[in-house]
Amino acid sequence: MDPEMDSQLKIGFIGAGNMAYGITKGILSGNVLPVNIKVSAPSLRNLGRFQELGVSITHSNVEVVCGSDVVFVAVKPHLVPLVLNEISQHVTDRHIIVSVAAGITLATLEELLPENSVTVRLMPNLPCMVQEGALLFARGSHAKEEDGALLRSLLHHCGLVEEGPEAWIDIHTGLSGSGVAFVYLFAEALAEGAVKMGMPSALAHSIASQTVLGAGRLLRDTGKHPAQLRSEVCTPGGTTIYGLHALEQGGVRASTMNAVESATERARELGRKSAAEGRK
């Protein structure tokens, strides 16, 4: 995708929550100018921070659609049918409609929009806000390869961007969307362990966050399997293997797998509910 094309694109966001904000920050660190982005929300509560980025704001979803080439629908899942019903008559074949609502299927999107609408289902995560997100998207039946390439080009400053079949989106929600919170829980527990052993809380939390960051970067940048890196930290009879034994006794591995499974199943359940709502 030609970077010059990115700079000419008009981008719209319906919804002004954290996901919309994170993606906007990522897009702005590329070639898109603030003047080419417009965000709508019913109240001013979340719009102020977009104004600080130099982005246009409005209360009109229709205004966003009419002035955009790519429209991100970034509202809560239960509001998606209402929003799509409101904007559908203004959606043309020049638009790419990107849903970032958990559980909303491509079939639901296509059902609620005009025939032949170009739809994409995208699941980002909160670290998009610091350009370290993990984003997975699936193309609808009318979205071409070049639409996927355009989206990749647009979003690559947000972090890792991958494309896959729609069946993976709910799994990605459980793994990465919700997984961020699982990592925070672990980081909090790491720090609390240090506090228990006598370290001041502020220092413990600072070191825990750096430990999570450093471990993640090493995992990503070396490309090694986590088990390999873990074994490299373990010396026979050393501190780490004693700590790992305690974690295994606590069932941390099984609990984490269960957490991803539960979050994935919840995403699927939300999708079924939303599909039923859309058909009403």
Residue 14 marked in a binding site: yes
Instruction: Copy the structure tokens of residue 72.
Output: 């991100």
* 145-118-9 Cα angle (round to 5): 80
Contacts of 234 (CB under 8 A, 6+ apart): 240, 241, 244
- Closest to 121 measured CA to CA, from 73, 171, 69: 73
46 carries a ligand binding annotation: no
Q: Is 238 annotated as a binding residue?
A: no
Q: What length is written for the chain?
A: 280
Was 159 annotated as part of a binding site?
A: no
| Residue whose structure tokens are 């299927």 | 105
Q: Is 20 annotated as a binding residue?
A: no
Whether residue 30 is annotated as binding a ligand: the answer is no
74 labelled ligand-binding: yes
Q: Could you tell me which residues are annotated as the binding site for NADP(+)?
A: 14-19, 74-77
Annotated binding site for NADPH: 61
Annotated binding site: 14-19, 61, 74-77
